[in-house]
Structure formats: C-alpha cells, structure tokens
C-alpha cells in the first residue's frame, strides 16, 4: 500500500476517541471520521471498491487478511480503526464474541418486532399439526408465513419458550 493512500486514510481518523468501558486497558479508540455504512463501520474507497475502514487499517498494519477471516473489534466500537483494538476471526468467532458480551438481545415471541404470529397462533399450529389432517404447507398458507416457519414451530426451534 503506497504512502499517499496511507496518508489519505489516516487523515480521516481521530486518535482521541472514547476509551471502551469494558476494556479500558486498550486505551482510546481511533475513530473513523469519514463516511459510514451499515452498523456504523467506516467506509474507504480502495482498489476500485468500497471497503470497511477497519479492514483497511488491518491491511496497512499487517499486509493481508487471512483467507476466510473477518476483522473484529475488541472494543466493540464499529468506527474504530486502531490496530490494537482489532483481531481476526471467523464469523462464528464474531457471533460468540457478540453473545459473550451481551450485544445481541433476543426478544422472544410477540416481543420480537419481526414476529408475524402471536402466541395463540403458535399453540394452534402445534395442536393442529399434532392432531393430523393438516400439512405444514396448509398451515403456512393459512397463517401467511413460509412452510419453514411452521416446521421451526412444530420442531420447537422457533417459539421454544411456548409450551
């Protein structure tokens, strides 16, 4: 990566960002101040396409990102580009880190803003399917959802908090 590109990148970084509360030993975040994309990650135009800024920071410091790996944040601050706050891992590692730190709050059942069904419908689906005479496809059509949703309900993968 040439020096001109590095200067252009670092000109968009504020090195006096917040210190992460859950890991103050990391020191302050280096916050991307230019454009941001999904989930607040910085964006940087590089090699004919838009990249996430923290990935460019990793490339500057390390030269490459290992195949199949993501660049993750120890600080949990998406616009941070400080190398010491970044590490590589799989998407599974990222999900486990998110869950361990409680960043994913699951809202079961009707409390989930994306729920299309209510508890009474879920109970009815399970009862009717167990009694026989109706297919998952018929239930799906009646309830206005995909058959995979009915399958998840019947197998208790979805709405598992309902008896």
For residues 107-130, average pLDDT: 88
> Three-class SS of residue 25?
helix
Asked if pLDDT for residue 129 goes beyond 90, the answer is yes
Alpha helices per DSSP H over the chain: 3-10, 53-62, 91-100, 119-131, 136-143, 147-154
Pairing of strands 13-14, 70-73: unpaired
Asked if pLDDT for residue 113 goes beyond 90, the answer is no
Query: Is 0.75 surpassed by the pTM of this model?
Result: no
The per-residue pLDDT for range 85-95, each reduced to its tens digit, is 999 999 999 88
pLDDT confidence bin for 47, thresholds 50/70/90: confident
**What are the extents of the domains in the chain?**
3-100, 109-154
Look at residue 107 in the predicted model and tell me its pLDDT. 67
Please tell me the number of Cα atoms within 13 Å of 45 on its side-chain side.
3
Pairing of strands 13-14, 43-46: unpaired
Look at residue 13 in the predicted model and tell me its pLDDT. 96
For residues 33-39, average pLDDT: 88
Please tell me the number of Cα atoms within 13 Å of 155 on its side-chain side.
8
Look at residue 153 in the predicted model and tell me its pLDDT. 94
Look at residue 101 in the predicted model and tell me its pLDDT. 80
Asked if pLDDT for residue 58 goes beyond 90, the answer is yes
pLDDT confidence bin for 106, thresholds 50/70/90: low
Task: Give the chain's end-to-end CA distance (angstroms, integer).
Answer: 58
77: nearest Cα among 40, 109, 43: 40
Alpha helices per DSSP H over 12-135: 53-62, 91-100, 119-131
CATH of domain 3-100: 3.90.75
Asked if pLDDT for residue 34 goes beyond 90, the answer is yes
């Amino acid at each position: 990566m040439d020096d001109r590109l590095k200067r252009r990148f670092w000109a968009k970084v504020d090195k006096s960002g917040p210190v992460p509360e859950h890991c103050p030993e990391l020191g302050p975040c280096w916050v991307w101040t230019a454009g941001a994309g999904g989930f607040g990650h910085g964006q940087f135009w590089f090699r004919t396409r838009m990249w996430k800024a923290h990935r460019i920071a990793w490339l500057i410091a390390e030269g490459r990102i290992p195949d199949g790996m993501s660049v993750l944040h120890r600080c949990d601050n998406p616009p941070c580009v400080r190398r010491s706050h970044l590490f590589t891992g799989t998407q599974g590692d990222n999900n486990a880190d998110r869950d361990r730190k409680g960043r994913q709050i699951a809202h079961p059942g009707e409390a989930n803003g994306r729920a299309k069904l209510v508890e009474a419908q879920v109970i009815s689906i399970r009862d009717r399917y167990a009694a026989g005479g109706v297919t998952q496809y018929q239930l799906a059509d009646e309830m206005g959802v995909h058959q995979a949703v009915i399958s998840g309900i019947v197998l208790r993968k979805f709405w598992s908090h309902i008896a």
